[in-house]
Each structure stands twice: as C-alpha cells, then as structure tokens.
C-alpha cells in the first residue's frame, strides 16, 4: 500500500512538472527585450503592404496586469546592419516594470488597412512561430523607472519617485538628417528667408564629434554612426539630459528627416533607417538623455490627411509608437509651432490637435507624456492654448517665446491656467527668441548667454517650469539646421547643468511655488516652500531683501554661483532671523558687479 502511494506521488510530480510552463527569457526590470516571430515572407514594396495590411499585436500578462503592444515589420530582423528591405521577421519591443512571470501571446492579422482598424475580428489570422511564451522579470534595485506624467507640473520616475528637471539641447532639430543613416537625403534644398542663413544642402556629419565616440559604443555597418554617437556622448558629458528632434520634416525647413522608404512615400517605411534610429535612441537611453520626439512641424502639419487623424496619420503614429514608445525617457511632441498663426493661417485646428493627441495616448501602451509646441508670440499662444486647457490627453506645453524677458511670467501664467482647468501641465522652455538668434555661440562677441541664463533658464525654473532646451537661431553659425559642433555652445551647457544639478540636489522643487512678491529690491525671482525653503535668484546682482514677516525662527543662508557652479558658499550674513523684511547681505565674491547669484534659505 505504501509503495502504491509513493508511486502515485511521483506520478503527480511528473504531471505537475510537465504542465509547468518553461521560461523562455529572463530579464531585469526596465530592460528592453525584442521578440522576433517568423511570419510571411514579404518586403517594403510588396503588393500587400506589410505596414498597412498586416497588424501585429502582442499581449503580455502578469497576474491582473495586461498590456497589449503594437509590433512592426522587421524585414530580415537585422536590417540596421544588412540594409534589408525584405524578409519574414516581425518584431515587438517590450520593456516591463513589474517583476515576476509575464506570459505573452502574439497575433498577426492580415486584411486591407488592418493596421488602422479598431477591431481585428474580421481579419485573417496569420500563423507566426513561437507565438506564445513566458518572460521572467527580475528586480533591479538601481532601476529608476519610466518618466511619467503624474498630474503634476513635473515628470516623475515611476520606481524611484524622483522628479525630473530637464536641461537640454534643441538644435539641430534635424539631427536625424545624418549622412550615414540609410535612405537619408535632402528632399529639396531649403530656401532661406530674406537675409537669413539657413540649412545647407548637405546632411549632418558632425566631424568634430567623432573623437567623442568611445570603444564599446554602438555603430552600424562597419563603423557608421560614430560621429553622431560621439556628439551624444559630448552632451551627456556636459550634464545635458534631454534632446529635442524631429522625426519628419518633409516640406519643412530641413527636408532631410522622414521615416518613409522615399521622400514622396506616405504608406511604406524604411526598415533599416528606423532600426538605425533605434540604435541612436538606445544610446540616448544609456546616457540618460530624454527624447523629445517632435512628430511634425508647422510647414507639414497638414501633410497627412489634411491635418486630421485619418489613415496616413494613424499609420505614421502607430509605426513610431510601435518602435519607440518603450524608451523610458520619452515625450511625444505633437508638432513644432503647431496650429494656425498670422503668417501661416491654415493649420491644425484645436479639434485636430486633440484627435492626434488622443490617438497617440490611446495607442501608446506606456502612456508617455504628450505636449504641443507653441508659436512664439503671446497673442497666438494664448488664443490656441486656452482652448486646450483641461484636455485630459495633453500633458504639457512646449513653449516658444519671441521675447526672453517674458519667459518667467508666461510660465507662471500657464502653470496657473492649466491647474485651474483641472489638468496641471508641465511647462518647458523649448525655443528662445527671436527666431533668427536663439542662443548665440560662445565665440560671438556680443553673445546673449548671460541674459538667456537669467531670463529663460532660471526664469522658467524659478516659476515652477520643468526646464529648458536650447534653440540656436537661424542666422548664427552652427544654427538650428546647420549645427555640426555642439562645442560651439559649451558655456551654455555648463550654465544649464549648473541650474539643473542645483535644483535636484538642494531644494524640494516639486513642493515649491513662485513667490516673487516676497522680494524687495533688485531684479529677482523667488521660489518658495513657505516656512521651510526659500530660493532667491538675483538676475543681475544688486541688493535684495526678503519678506519673512509671517515666519518665525531662523534660516541658514547660503549662496550659489549659477555661472561657475560648485558647492554652496557663505555670504556676508550666515543666519537670517525671520519675523520681518530681512536683508540677505552680500555674495561671497563679485559684489555689485552685475553678476547673477542664487541665495538659498533653509531651516
């Protein structure tokens, strides 16, 4: 009897083991995994369009958490290296956050325009290999998480819960117009506005940044891409943490960035080009550089479906989302200078803007942040964005100004207006004016970097803005389209990193608000968590007093040099007694010579 029981127990164990699903892959939290499936043999130019008439969706489940991710046609599965236009590979990219066992199931459907359908019930199911499997996700204690919109004026990392301040680069906007990326060419030599230096007929080469490429960094096709990867290394070495760039400028300024197989094509994509873009984006992830993906510009906002979110626009957006939404630091920008303006009166309407934004939000399985880039003049900006306040699918404004002196007040205005409408926006300063100048290069004798540091960089941050990215103008050398060397603004990167590192290291910025009315004296901004932390920024030196009449106790006073960075310093007054309007004293050096300083008061 005992032997029979033992035999039964062994048989049960055998049955349980045979039923247990084997783990196909083991990865860590936040790690990217590319799943490839063998499907029908086809090509970019096949009569049955693999981008439009096939639809790959892969559903991942971990307990009660379910996420469906759009896939894409991948040619031979190695197109970045092979340059292939044909093959039988279909892929999906997954970047999970939750640990544990994730089961997945892939379904490839075939049918006319099936990629755009809201349902796949009427389409034919096409067999793919290894359509089901199991991924084990292990904990990574160093993983900060995905940058997410959290109903706040700042993005937040999903795991560490740290808030994010950006200090970035916005030029050249056509960085993907790089000569060693497959299929990249000038659709038409850009024409200059009167008196304006504009883009050349050449693609970007970034020759001075090839030395910044390091052994072990990525490249493709026997060493291509090193100068572009090196340029990103340089930015990261300067403490820059975000980059603004276009993924389509057909009929726009540069006419050299487009995802399609040809400049005139709208329904078929260049697989090898898009995979080489992904190599670049992966390196940005590694460097901690946020991708602000600008999906169109003012000249081409009506290019697809006359501005509506119809067949062509949905196809373009779905492909971008399928390939790139997995990146952990990503913002979808609906378009540069988006909407009608007096010098271009026909543009996307408010409803068109909303429809496009909602499609991105609904299609993106990771729900990345969405913004829209504004026009430069206040009247147009106000008239368009008041119509968008309270819209749930839009997370922020990518601001442009024609007068840098207005950055601070405009940031305060839109933080307040968005909050009042029930959907607080992140407000970033993404294009400084005037359009022909932007941020001057270091070698310009009368360069404007000191003024921009005070009015635009600290102006945005001291208002409660989420940070800035720098535009290079159109008349400067190394401008918004022709920049080949980011070292031309080396000082500006230093100033930017000094500001972002100060905010993230020394103050609870996500709990602070503009309180300029507390300052008495020289031109200044005040940012405060009342009763706890006060930050005063002296724009151009001078004497300053702070109204602490409603507070009790004392505060420690320390000074920070926005130009040179470094540690906090002690000024002429070390301790401030609250209860009145108090004199903050003199800085450690550079007294009364017009230099900017930040003064930090803490309990």
| Three-state SS at 485 | coil
Task: Indicate if 512-602 has the same CATH topology as 147-510.
Answer: no
pLDDT score of 11:
43
- Rounded to an integer, the average pLDDT of 327-344 is 97
> In degrees to the nearest 10, what's the CA dihedral of 277, 281, 282, 286?
150
Judged against a pLDDT cut of 70, whether residue 553 lies above it is answered with: yes
What span, in angstroms and rounded, lies between the C-alpha atoms of 132 and 103? 7
At 193, the pLDDT band (50, 70, 90 cuts) reads very low
- Give Cβ neighbours of residue 280 (< 8 Å, ≥ 6 apart): 176, 225, 228, 229, 232
Judged against a pLDDT cut of 70, whether residue 218 lies above it is answered with: yes
Look up the CATH number of domain 25-138. 2.60.40.10
Q: What percent of the chain has pLDDT over 70?
A: 95
pLDDT score of 171:
98
pTM of this prediction?
0.95
What span, in angstroms and rounded, lies between the C-alpha atoms of 116 and 126? 17
- Rounded to an integer, the average pLDDT of 429-439 is 97
- DSSP per residue over 281-301, as a string? HHHHHHHT-EEEEE--BGGGT
| 581-583, strands of its sheet edge to edge | 519-521, 544-547, 581-583
Q: Which of 11-25, 278-292, 330-344 is predicted least confidently?
A: 11-25
Per-residue pLDDT tens digits for 222-240 = 999 999 999 999 999 999 9
b/e map of 488-516 (b: 16 or more CB within 10 Å)?
Answer: bbebbbbbbbbbbebbeebbebbebbbbb
Q: Which of 61-75, 95-109, 181-195, 456-470 is predicted least confidently?
A: 181-195
Judged against a pLDDT cut of 60, whether residue 569 lies above it is answered with: yes
Per-residue pLDDT tens digits for 74-88 = 999 999 999 999 999
- Rounded to an integer, the average pLDDT of 10-34 is 72
pLDDT score of 12:
43
Measured between alpha carbons, how far is residue 596 from residues 96, 137, 501, 601 in Å?
A: 44, 49, 17, 17
List phi, psi (to 5°) of 491. -65, -35
pLDDT score of 535:
98
What span, in angstroms and rounded, lies between the C-alpha atoms of 437 and 480? 10
Judged against a pLDDT cut of 70, whether residue 352 lies above it is answered with: yes
- Rounded to an integer, the average pLDDT of 108-121 is 91
List phi, psi (to 5°) of 472. -100, 5
Peptide bond into 172 cis (omega under 30): yes
User: Domain boundaries in the chain?
Assistant: 25-138, 147-510, 512-602
At 160, the pLDDT band (50, 70, 90 cuts) reads very high
- Give Cβ neighbours of residue 187 (< 8 Å, ≥ 6 apart): 250, 251, 255, 256, 258, 263
For the chain, helix (H) and strand (E) counts, in that order, are: 11, 28
| 328's tokens | 């952990």
User: What are the start-end ranges of the H helices in 20-93?
Assistant: 79-82
Q: Please state, rounded to an integer, the average pLDDT across all residues of the chain.
A: 94
At 192, the pLDDT band (50, 70, 90 cuts) reads very low
Judged against a pLDDT cut of 70, whether residue 7 lies above it is answered with: no
Measured between alpha carbons, how far is residue 249 from residues 76, 252, 464, 470, 546 in Å?
A: 28, 5, 32, 19, 49
- Rounded to an integer, the average pLDDT of 332-349 is 96
| Three-state SS at 211 | helix
Per-residue pLDDT tens digits for 299-320 = 999 999 999 999 999 999 999 9
What span, in angstroms and rounded, lies between the C-alpha atoms of 562 and 590? 12
How crowded is the C-beta side of 166, counted as CA atoms within 13 Å? Answer: 32
Judged against a pLDDT cut of 70, whether residue 200 lies above it is answered with: no
pLDDT score of 237:
98
Helix, strand, coil % (nearest 5) of the chain? 25, 25, 45
Measured between alpha carbons, how far is residue 574 from residues 46, 355, 522 in Å?
A: 74, 55, 20
pLDDT score of 417:
98
Give which of 179, 172, 185 is closest to 264, Cα–Cα. 185
Per-residue pLDDT tens digits for 118-152 = 888 778 999 999 999 999 999 999 999 999 999 99
- Rounded to an integer, the average pLDDT of 349-374 is 98
- Rounded to an integer, the average pLDDT of 238-256 is 97
What span, in angstroms and rounded, lies between the C-alpha atoms of 319 and 325? 10
- Rounded to an integer, the average pLDDT of 184-212 is 75
CATH 3.20.20.80 is held by the domain 147-510: yes
Measured between alpha carbons, how far is residue 134 from residues 62, 64, 89, 513 in Å?
A: 10, 15, 20, 47
- DSSP per residue over 536-566, as a string? EEESS---EEEE-TT--SEEEEEEE-TTT--
- The CATH topology of domain 512-602 is Immunoglobulin-like (2.60.40)
- Rounded to an integer, the average pLDDT of 437-461 is 98
């Amino acid at each position: 009897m005992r032997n029979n029981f033992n035999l039964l127990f062994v048989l049960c164990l055998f049955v349980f083991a045979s039923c247990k699903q084997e783990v196909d892959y083991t990865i860590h939290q936040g790690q990217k995994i590319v799943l490839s499936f063998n499907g029908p043999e086809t090509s970019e130019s096949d009569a049955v369009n693999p981008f439009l008439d096939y639809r790959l969706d892969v559903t991942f489940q971990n307990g009660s958490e379910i996420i469906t991710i759009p896939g894409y046609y991948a040619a031979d599965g190695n197109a970045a290296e092979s340059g292939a236009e044909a093959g039988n590979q279909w892929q999906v990219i997954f970047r999970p956050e939750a640990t544990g066992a994730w089961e997945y199931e892939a379904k490839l459907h075939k049918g006319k325009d099936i990629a755009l359908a809201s349902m796949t019930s009427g389409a034919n199911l096409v067999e793919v290999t290894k359509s089901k499997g199991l991924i084990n996700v292990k904990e990574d204690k160093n993983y900060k998480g995905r940058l997410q919109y959290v109903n706040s004026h700042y993005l937040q990392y999903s795991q560490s819960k740290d808030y994010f301040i950006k200090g970035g680069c916005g030029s050249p906007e056509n960085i993907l117009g790089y000569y060693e990326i497959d299929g990249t060419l000038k659709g038409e030599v850009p024409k200059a506005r009167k008196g304006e230096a504009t883009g050349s007929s050449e693609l970007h080469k970034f020759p001075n940044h090839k030395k910044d490429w390091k052994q072990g960094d990525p490249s493709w096709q026997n060493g291509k891409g090193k100068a572009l990867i090196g340029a990103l290394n340089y930015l990261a070495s300067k403490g820059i943490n975000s980059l603004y760039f276009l993924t389509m400028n057909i009929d726009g300024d540069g006419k050299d960035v487009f995802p399609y197989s040809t400049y005139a094509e709208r329904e078929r994509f260049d697989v090898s080009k898009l995979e080489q873009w992904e190599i670049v984006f992966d390196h940005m992830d590694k460097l901690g550089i946020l991708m602000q993906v600008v999906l169109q510009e003012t000249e081409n906002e009506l290019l697809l479906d006359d501005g509506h979110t119809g067949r062509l626009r949905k196809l373009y957006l779905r492909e971008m989302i399928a390939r790139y939404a997995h990146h952990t630091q990503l913002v979808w920008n609906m378009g540069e200078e988006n909407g009608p303006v007096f010098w271009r009166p026909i543009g996307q309407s408010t409803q068109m803007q909303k429809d496009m934004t909602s499609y991105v939000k609904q299609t993106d399985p990771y729900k990345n942040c969405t913004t829209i880039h504004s026009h430069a003049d206040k009247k147009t900006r106000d008239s368009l964005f008041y119509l968008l306040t309270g819209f749930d699918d839009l997370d922020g404004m990518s601001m442009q100004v024609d007068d840098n002196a207005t950055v601070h007040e405009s940031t305060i205005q839109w933080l307040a207006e968005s909050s009042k409408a029930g959907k607080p926006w992140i407000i970033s300063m993404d294009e400084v004016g005037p359009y022909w100048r932007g941020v001057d290069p270091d070698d310009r004798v009368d360069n404007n970097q000191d003024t921009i540091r005070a009015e635009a960089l600290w102006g945005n941050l001291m208002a409660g803005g989420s940070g800035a990215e720098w535009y290079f103008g159109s008349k400067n050398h190394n401008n918004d389209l022709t920049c080949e060397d980011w070292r031309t603004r080396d000082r500006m990167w230093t100033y930017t990193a000094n500001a972002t590192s100060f905010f993230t290291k020394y103050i609870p910025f996500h709990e602070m608000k503009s309180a300029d009315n507390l300052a008495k004296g020289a031109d200044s901004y005040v940012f405060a968590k009342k009763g706890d932390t006060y930050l005063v920024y002296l724009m151009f030196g001078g004497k300053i007093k702070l109204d602490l009449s409603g507070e009790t106790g004392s505060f420690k006073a320390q000074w920070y040099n926005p130009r040179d960075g470094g540690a906090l310093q002690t000024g002429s007054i070390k301790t401030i007694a609250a209860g009145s309007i108090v004199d903050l004293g003199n800085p450690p050096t550079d007294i009364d010579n017009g230099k900017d300083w930040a003064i930090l008061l803490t309990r």
